[in-house]
Amino acid sequence: MPPITIHEDRKTVRRTTATYEQIDDDGNVTQSEIRVEYYSYTTARLRAIVAERQQRLNDGEALWHVDALVDQLHGLPDLVGTKGKPLFIPHNGDEKKRTASLTFLDSLDVQNIEAIKKAIDEDANPKAPPEK
């Protein structure tokens, strides 16, 4: 078997789906499955996230779902604006793009944010099926 080449600087993009709810002007709720593209974390990245969160807590800052999600998401291709372009843009460290994507995530209903986060968590850590 040939060796596996590891690209240390490359992020792994994984895909799953989440149930997204929209409410129209008449109060009718529509549910749609949307594609969620996210980066798979490494142990080093998880350590950095835990340290950052702890520092923010020590500084008395609030932690919000979107703060972690903005860096884990690669894309939400089914959520587009009126011009047909995706509203979430992967930032790859570009602070202007990160701010725009964070502003977009901040505008979403909390239930939709939680559904996206849950879809990622369940995809990244699938539960074993019950034994018969």
Please report whether residue 55 resides in a domain: yes
Please report whether residue 131 resides in a domain: no
Alpha-carbon gap, residue 37 to 95, rounded angstroms:
20
pLDDT in tens, 7-43: 777 778 899 999 999 988 999 999 999 999 998 888 8
Please report whether residue 129 resides in a domain: no
Please report whether residue 8 resides in a domain: no
Q: Name the CA dihedral angle for 127, 52, 74, 42, rounded to a multiple of 10 degrees.
A: -50
Question: How much is the average pLDDT of 71-86?
Answer: 88
Q: Name the CA dihedral angle for 91, 96, 98, 104, rounded to a multiple of 10 degrees.
A: -120
pLDDT in tens, 88-108: 877 777 888 888 888 999 999
Please report whether residue 132 resides in a domain: no
The order of strands in the sheet holding 13-23 is 13-23, 29-39, 73-75
Please report whether residue 60 resides in a domain: yes
Alpha-carbon gap, residue 53 to 61, rounded angstroms:
9
DSSP of 50-82: HHHHHHHHHTT----HHHHHHHHEEE-TT-B-T
| Local structure of 6: helix, strand or coil | coil
Q: Which amino acid is at 97?
A: K
Radius of gyration of the chain (CA): 17
Please report whether residue 116 resides in a domain: yes
What pLDDT is stored for residue 114 in this prediction?
95
Length, in residues, of the chain: 132
**Mean pLDDT across the chain, nearest whole number?**
86
Domain residue limits at 101: 13-121
Please report whether residue 63 resides in a domain: yes
Q: pLDDT grade, residue 129 (50/70/90)?
A: low
Count of domains observed in the chain: 1
